[in-house]
Amino acid sequence: MGNQHTYEIGDQNYFAQQKTQADIAQELNITTQQLRNYKKLLTLIPTGYG
């Protein structure tokens, strides 16, 4: 019973259309190349969780 709500949330998101890198870049008003560069930079930033 405790997991029932979790499944409902998962089911709602299961059929949602996933955004592409181009979609995300357009929302941020940057190019897809800039988005890829930001993603690369994020892997270099230590989070302190590991």
Tell me whether residue 46 is in a domain. yes
Number of domains, the chain? 1
Tell me whether residue 10 is in a domain. no
Identify the band that residue 46 occupies on the pLDDT scale cut at 50, 70 and 90: confident
Tokens of 8: 């409902």
Tell me whether residue 49 is in a domain. yes
pLDDT of 5: 46
Tell me whether residue 28 is in a domain. yes
Tell me whether residue 2 is in a domain. no
Tell me whether residue 34 is in a domain. yes
Tell me whether residue 13 is in a domain. no
**pTM score, whole prediction:** 0.55
Average pLDDT of the segment spanning 29-35? 97
pLDDT of 12: 55
Could you report the per-residue pLDDT of 12-27, keeping only the tens digit for each?
555 668 899 999 999 9
Tell me whether residue 8 is in a domain. no
Task: Give the domain range for residue 44.
Answer: 18-50
Q: Which residues contact 24 (CB under 8 A, 6 or more apart)?
A: 35
